[in-house]
Amino acid sequence: MTRRCSITSMISVASIAALAAPALALPQSAPAAAPPAKDEQPTELPVTLIPHPGSAAEAYFSPDGTHLICNAQVGDDETYYVYTMKLDGSEVRKINGKGMDACTYYFPDGQRIIWTSTRDCLDLPKGDYSEPSDYPKGAELFISDLKGKNVKRLTHNECYDAECSVSPDGNWILFSRQTDDGIDLWKMRADGSDEAQLTFTDDWHEGGAFFMPDGDTIIYRAWRHADSDQSPKPMTIFTIKADGADLTQITTDPGTNWAPYPAPDGNHFVYVRMMPPHNFEIYLMNIETKEKKQLTHNNAFDGYPVISPDGQTLLFSTSRGIPRGERKLRLAKMDVSSLHLGAGKNTQTTGHEQDH
């Protein structure tokens, strides 16, 4: 899964590497979503499944909130490719159809997109976006227009470059790079110039980074190298400034805290917690008070959460409704307007839950 990351034993069969790599976290055999017992339910806000003729994961909103970009496998696709579509699942457009694709993102101008693909490096070993020990060395970053035309390749090397996102002003790209020294966060200008490494940690592998609304703070998740063989892999959420200063640990519990994504209010982020033995749930955390609120309540996989630019909608990937044994994910949206996550600082506590 790119944000990228894997989930094997976590979801029964899903590869846990997916957790690590936000690229494609695909549960191979997602647990069926059992209806909650009457006396144990729910505070889950209204969820709508987005109709889509295939499997889709890790989606991100367009700046105007009307479209999404994602990794999807549709029809005869042999693997996952970059697609865009309207939020209602219509106007599905394939952006790339060569190599293997992973992480994607819109530029704030709404006219350009960035995506990860092995399309130019088909002679290199194929690799696996869900397995950090086998990440595709041919994964490079590309920018194109909304039709997948005017493609410009940004990275030129034989190491894994993926997990890309764009700063609020459109000037900087964040990404993860795997070298012989491990995985670290990097940034570069939108034209691919001025590459700079942000983390220099031999014992941690960082990824899934996004700028917060202030355009200076970066939120991401990492796992310890020593935990690389663990399943599920413990993961921790951190922040760091765009100049590499102020590395700050945000989550402190020993579990899997994965896939953070900032809310427009600048004060909250959504993320995923692994709920042993096989469940994944989406949470919201106040980054200052650390207070958290569970947003999904379902035995199925719920992951890759993002918040719409207006703060009204949570978009996520889920195995809800997918027959046991089918290795697919679908997209869903939740109406989170009652949580007041839109721009303009929300210092209210969003939940009432203390640490488990």
Site for Ca ion in 284-303 (CB under 5 A): 298, 302
The H or E element spanning position 327 is none
Tell me, residue by residue from 194 to 233, as one string, x for binding to Ca ion by CB under 5 A and - for no binding.
-------x--x-----------------------------
Choice from 31, 132, 182, 303 touching Ca ion (CB under 5 A): 182
**Considering only CA atoms, which of 155, 153, 186 is closest in space to residue 172?**
186
Rg (CA), the chain: 18
**CA dist., res. 27 & res. 9, Å (int):** 9
CB of 120 to Ca ion, least distance (A): 26
CB of 340 to Ca ion, least distance (A): 24
Task: Tally the C-alpha atoms within 13 A of residue 241's C-alpha that lie toward its C-beta.
Answer: 4
Choice from 101, 163, 227, 281 touching Ca ion (CB under 5 A): 281
101 binds Ca ion (CB under 5 A): no
**CA dist., res. 315 & res. 336, Å (int):** 10
CB of 222 to Ca ion, least distance (A): 7
| Two structure tokens written together for 146 | 């909304």
CB of 153 to Ca ion, least distance (A): 25
Nearest CB to Ca ion, comparing residues 180 and 288:
180
Choice from 58, 161, 184, 265 touching Ca ion (CB under 5 A): 184
Enumerate residues 6+ apart whose C-beta is below 8 A from 219: 209, 210, 212, 237, 238, 239, 250, 260, 261, 262, 269, 287
Nearest CB to Ca ion, comparing residues 42 and 125:
42
Binding interface with Ca ion (CB under 5 A): 182, 184, 201, 204, 279, 281, 298, 302
